[in-house]
Every structure is written in structure tokens, then in C-alpha cells.
Copies of this chain bind each other. A is one copy, B any other.
Amino acid sequence: MTKYQQININNKFDKFSDYWSPRIIAEMNDYQFKLVKVQGEFVWHEHSDTDEVFIVIDGKLIIEFRDGRVELKPGEMFIVPKGIEHKPVAQHESKIMIIEPRGVINTGDAGGELTAGNDVWI
């Protein structure tokens, strides 16, 4: 019998503690499922070539836009359209799942010190 192994999202979150540094847990075709812990304010940035999915697993995530904002609680999701500037913010530590194509950089066009390695698996 082949061993098929499920992925437990919360168990994966126990494996790291730093903020704004996505870890990859799975790939579907050329898309990746990433977990990230967030706290504080990220940088304004955009991804010119792709939409980006945020699903809140624990805590609360605010995504600010130049002309509005959205607040996500656990079990809520939002898809940031490609080319739209956004800034994720979390008042308290929160756990987020991100889904986007392989190779997307977390800071998009902005770069800077919060730019994380983009192919780190756990």
C-alpha cells in the first residue's frame, strides 16, 4: 500500500515562529500553498502578474488598499486582484494561508528588508 499523508495546517504552523516569512506546505500544479505568521504592518506592494489569496486560520488580518480596506477573521478569505496595491496589517499575531503561483515574492514590486526567501518548505 502506498502511504498517503495528509497535511495538518495547524501542525505546520507549530514548526516556525518568525513573522512575514512564508513557508510552503503544498503545491497544486504550479501554485503553492504557503503559511505565514504576521504581526504589525507589512509594506505597500503589488503583484503585477497574479491574484493572491489570503485565508485567515487564526487571529485577524486587515488588508489595506489605497481606497479602502477589508478585515478577515478565521474562516474568511479574500483574493487581492493582480496589480492592486495592498498592505497587510495585523494588530496581534495571526496565522494566514496564502495561495499564489510558484515564484511569487512576498513584497512584490516593493522589495526591502521584509523580502523573504520564496521557496522555503516545511
Residues of A within 8 A of B (CB): 1-10, 26-29, 31, 33, 50-53, 57, 63, 65, 67-73, 75-79, 82, 99-101
Contacts and interface: CB of A to CB of B under 8 A. Distances in A.
5 contacts: A1-B68, A4-B68, A26-B79, A28-B79, A33-B53
A107 B92 CA distance: 43
Contacts of A75: 8-10, 57
Contact of A65 (B4, B31, B63, B78): B4
Given A28-B99, A50-B29, A99-B99, A77 B7 contact: yes
A8 B76 contact: yes
Contact of A68 (B3, B8, B77): B3
